[in-house]
Amino acid sequence: MATPGISTDVGGPHTFPHKLVTFRTKEMLQDLYVVKDPLGSGRFGKVYLVEEKTTGKKFAAKQCACRRPSQRKDFELEIEVMNELKHPKLLHLFDAFFGKNEVTLVLELVTGGELFDRIADDSFDLTEQLAVTYLRQICEAIAYMHSVNILHLDLKPENILCLSPDHLDLIKIIDFGFARRYTPNTPLKIMFGTPEFVAPEVVNFDPLGKGTDVWSIGVITYVLLSGLSPFMGDDEQETLSNVTSGEIDFDDECFDEVSQEAKDFIHKLLQPKERHRPTCLECLEHPWLYEMPRQNLDSHRKSLAVAIINLKKFVSRRKWMRSINAVRAMNRLQAGVKKQSSDDLTKNMSKLNAK
């Protein structure tokens, strides 16, 4: 059942039918699809453009190594989660195939590129009003996930794509490999993610909740409006320490261009205690997201010039980090681990996605 205020209509540009997916054999992949051009690669594997033989429809096929039973279990969980998600702002799964040592996920083809890449482009004019357009879509998508009791747990710029070059104002949230079911009153603890964007309860190995995703949205908002990372330290240990302290400021000159409503929105999302953060539905009712689009104020349509300059540096740094971590990727912490030294914690928290 849909939650009031959350659209599950999958209409609009690039309409994609929702379907339930089960694993098939690698041989069937070759029978059903024609492999076209490579689209990209990273630590996770490779992505190819594929075409369905019977319809001519094009998809993105992500091929990943899968040699251990634990890896297969992770992919089965990811598929189980994606089978439950039906929302226009969430990436859809179309097919899945197991080979002897790899798994291939056939996914909706999204061609607009990473949101922050597009914003940092010289031809793109970022305004606060446009930022609101993106944040409303993100909050709507995550509100839907939370309505079916699924947490994303890996929200970061790399996992937010633009729909297509013709629809750069529309987004898709991707990568549900870390997503987990949330059962109220049943503690959920994990210790994986990207240090700059994880919530304090992840670092402290405390129970997670829907506010864990809200924290990440708050960090993304801060970066989007300023080009600065609020908790970034000189190394991962310092970054994690900054996250647990939860202290933010708006002292940089780039925030001179940002409204008080936007700063208040960020402040409310970046509360150190998970229970003190608003829900995604409450985020959508905040004056910055709710009233500003209706007011259409000229002051919110000014270019965030300093933020754009900072975003170029931010995007470059993230790309460099992803290339480094493609070589230095660390294993996740085991679910039973409760306490480690700060050095060990930092080492395990450095599982950054290079996509």
DSSP bridge pairs for 161: 114, 172
Distance CA 44, CA 98 (A): 15
The structure's pTM equals 0.86
Judge whether 278 and 209 are in contact, CB under 8 Å: no
CATH of the domain at 44: 3.30.200.20
Section 82-97 average pLDDT:
96
pLDDT band, residue 142 (cuts 50/70/90): very high
pLDDT band, residue 340 (cuts 50/70/90): very low
Task: Give tens-digit pLDDT for 211-239.
Answer: 999 999 999 999 999 999 999 999 999 99
pLDDT band, residue 305 (cuts 50/70/90): confident
Evaluate whether residue 11 is within a structural domain: no
Crossing angle between the packed helical segments 305-328 and 210-226, to the nearest 10 degrees: 120
Q: Check whether residue 165 and residue 257 sit in a common domain.
A: yes
pLDDT band, residue 249 (cuts 50/70/90): very high
Judge whether 48 and 61 are in contact, CB under 8 Å: yes
Evaluate whether residue 207 is within a structural domain: yes
Q: Check whether residue 284 and residue 328 sit in a common domain.
A: yes
Section 80-97 average pLDDT:
96
Distance CA 255, CA 346 (A): 30
pLDDT at res. 271: 97
CATH of the domain at 260: 1.10.510.10
Q: Check whether residue 98 and residue 129 sit in a common domain.
A: no
Binding residue ranges for ATP:
62
User: Which tops the pLDDT comparison, 121 or 92?
Assistant: 92
pLDDT at res. 353: 41
Binding residue ranges:
62
pLDDT band, residue 318 (cuts 50/70/90): confident
Distance CA 142, CA 333 (A): 25
Q: 99-108, 302-311, 333-342, 346-355: lowest mean pLDDT where?
A: 333-342
List, by residue number, the catalytic residues: 154
Q: Check whether residue 168 and residue 205 sit in a common domain.
A: yes
> Is the pLDDT at 182 greater than 60, yes or no?
yes
Evaluate whether residue 6 is within a structural domain: no
pLDDT band, residue 2 (cuts 50/70/90): very low
What mean pLDDT value characterizes the chain?
Answer: 86
Q: Check whether residue 259 and residue 121 sit in a common domain.
A: yes
Q: Check whether residue 277 and residue 214 sit in a common domain.
A: yes
Domain that holds residue 337: 115-349
Residues ≥6 apart with Cβ < 8 Å to 352: 194, 195, 321, 322, 325, 329
List Cα–Cα distances, 227 to 31, 82, 269, 309, 316, in angstroms: 46, 31, 18, 7, 11
pLDDT at res. 261: 95
- Count of structural domains within the chain: 2
The pair phi, psi for residue 151, each rounded to 5°, is -100, 140
